[in-house]
Amino acid sequence: MKQGGGTSSRALYERGLKVIPGGVNSPVRAFGAVGGVPVVFNRGEGPYLMDVDGQRFLDLVMSWGAIILGHAHPMIVSKITEAVKSGTSFGAPCPDEVKLAEHICGVVPSVERVRMVSSGTEAVMSAIRLSRAYTQRSKILKFRGCYHGHADAMLVRAGSGVATLGLPDSPGVPPGAAGDTLVARFNDLNSVIGLFDESKEDIAAVIVEPVAGNMGMIPPAKGFLEGLRSLTSDRGALLILDEVMTGFRVGPSGAQGLYGIAPDLTTFGKVIGGGFPVGAFGGQAEIMDQMAPAGPVYQAGTLSGNPIAMRAGLATLEYLADPSVYQGLESMSYAFAEALASEAERAGIALQTSVVGGMFGFYFAEDTVNSWEEAETCDRERFASFFHGMLEAGVYLPPSPFEACFISTTHGDPEVEYFRTAVRAAMSIL
């Protein structure tokens, strides 16, 4: 079974291997966790991707959550086509970056100022620098299995990409860069309290994915985010919600709106770029105004606030301003998760599912998964076989058991039925 891509995908992958490390530009794409040849795509339309061998797949990766209105949405295509005609990069302020910032500040109450960057990694790296400067402390507390991009300080117990490759951390991260990163257990407040007690007022910030999406998908336990909010306030640390995945995907003001948490800083990415490379970080004016040139904390980028990316992001967020969009997304995510759960039950296979807004996850496991420690006990071999069965049946799932699934506004009832048929076929041979 483990074949993956067809003849043309294989040929391109083999060419790529000679000129790109591992043949891919981001490790999980190499199918390391599932085996076989990565599928090479050349077209997307709505909820579907077409590969270079002419096969069509129902896409449940959606560019790792970035594409929320479906591939090549005609309104986005028209807006960016119009924008491109006026130039592709100015390296200077442009109108749409102001409009996008106004929009974000208008719908996310904890964000009074926002700085645009070009990726989620950059957003996190900058938010961490800012929180250290603001608090004049050095340590950062993160959670095992949460991924916050590939900046040195964050490549500690970092979930999917690293776990998929079986690497504990990354060579090249000097001990000094990671030495101030403390690691607690997701959904376990006591582990956070313990680290605060040990580190004697030196924790600058706690950073967390409010819905963990890089160890499969794990929603926050009741009281976990609220507990982090009060602990950080009590101990003089900042709370950074990493909403690169969840921002504008799980609700109109992200996971913080859904769970009623006001962080000090938020990082964004994926959806806010409308399919272009955009990240952002924002928060209260008093903190954000420490950023240069308003304040002394340095950060810069030639393509930050790029006019095409800003136009795509703004058009996407304006479309999402109608809250009924999120009701539709969430009920569709539930429909996909239900198809998985009912087919697993029918096949007598132990499976756990979870849903938040426009994302869902599943584990081949007997019990509910609440942390990385529980996620890593899931049946990875069964996932790999299931992944390839689904691929054969025309469904593209994330090629790792430690990633979340994402849908778009173009995923509807016909796609759920198509998915259900594929799940039944794939489960019948597990």
Q: Which residues are catalytic?
A: 147, 242, 270
DSSP string across 18-55:
HHSGGGSSSGGGG-TTT-SBPPPEEEEEBTEEEETTS-
DSSP string, 81-102: HHHHTT-S--SS--HHHHHHHH
Q: Is 64 in the site for ligand HOZ (CB under 6 A)?
A: yes
Is the alpha carbon torsion for 172, 175, 177, 178 positive or negative? positive
Q: 278: buried, middle or exposed (CB in 10 Å: 19+, 13-18, 0-12)?
A: buried
Our finding on whether 26 is near ligand HOZ (CB under 6 A) is yes
Contacts of 144 (CB under 8 A, 6+ apart): 157, 183, 184, 185, 186, 371, 372, 373
Element (H, E) at 285: helix 285-288
Q: Which is nearer to ligand HOZ, 12 or 237 (CB)?
A: 12
The residue range among 25-33, 111-119, 220-228, 270-278 that interacts with ligand HOZ, by the rule CB under 6 A, is 25-33
* 101 contributes a contact to ligand HOZ by CB under 6 A: no
What is the enclosing helix (H) or strand (E) of 71? none
Closest CA to 47 of 423, 426, 412, 394: 412
Contact between 403 and 245 under an 8 Å Cβ cutoff? The reply is no
Shortest approach of ligand HOZ to residue 163 CB, angstroms?
10
29 lies in the site for ligand HOZ, by CB under 6 A: yes
Cα–Cα dist 367/239, whole Å: 30
Contact between 21 and ligand HOZ by CB under 6 A: the answer reads no
Contacts of 234 (CB under 8 A, 6+ apart): none
State yes or no: residue 23 binds ligand HOZ (CB under 6 A). no
- Among 28, 34, 40, 310, the residue binding ligand HOZ under the rule CB under 6 A is 28
Looking at beta carbons only, is 64 or 387 nearer to ligand HOZ?
64
Nearer to ligand HOZ, 214 or 353 (CB): 214
Work out which of 23, 36, 38, 161 binds ligand HOZ, going by CB under 6 A.
161
The interface mask with ligand HOZ, positions 162-201, x = CB under 6 A, is ----------------------------------------
Size of the site for ligand HOZ (CB under 6 A): 8
Q: CB-wise, 147 or 196, nearer to ligand HOZ?
A: 147
Determine the interface stretch with ligand HOZ among 21-29, 182-190, 215-223, 264-272 (rule: CB under 6 A). 21-29
User: Quick one: tokens of 67?
Assistant: 């594409």
For residue 231, the tally of other CB atoms under 10 A from its CB is 18
In the bound complex, what is the minimum distance in angstroms from residue 161's beta carbon to ligand HOZ? 4
Coil vs helix vs strand at 304: coil
Q: Which is nearer to ligand HOZ, 121 or 333 (CB)?
A: 121
Contacts of 200 (CB under 8 A, 6+ apart): none
Q: For ligand HOZ, which is the closer residue by CB, 264 or 403?
A: 403
Task: Give the shortest CB-56-to-ligand HOZ separation in angstroms.
Answer: 21
Verify binding: residue 369, ligand HOZ, rule CB under 6 A.
no
Among 110, 121, 126, 160, binds ligand HOZ (CB under 6 A): 160
In angstroms, the CA 225 to CA 145 distance is 16
| 405 contacts ligand HOZ (rule: CB under 6 A) | no
Nearer to ligand HOZ, 13 or 64 (CB): 64
Site for ligand HOZ contains 214 (CB under 6 A): yes
> Dihedral angle at the C-alpha atoms of 310, 313, 318, 319, nearest 10 degrees?
140
C-beta nearest to ligand HOZ: residue: 26
Is 270 a binder of ligand HOZ (CB under 6 A)?
A: no
Cβ 32 to ligand HOZ shortest distance, Å? 11
Residues making contact with ligand HOZ (CB under 6 A):
26, 28-29, 64, 160-161, 214, 403
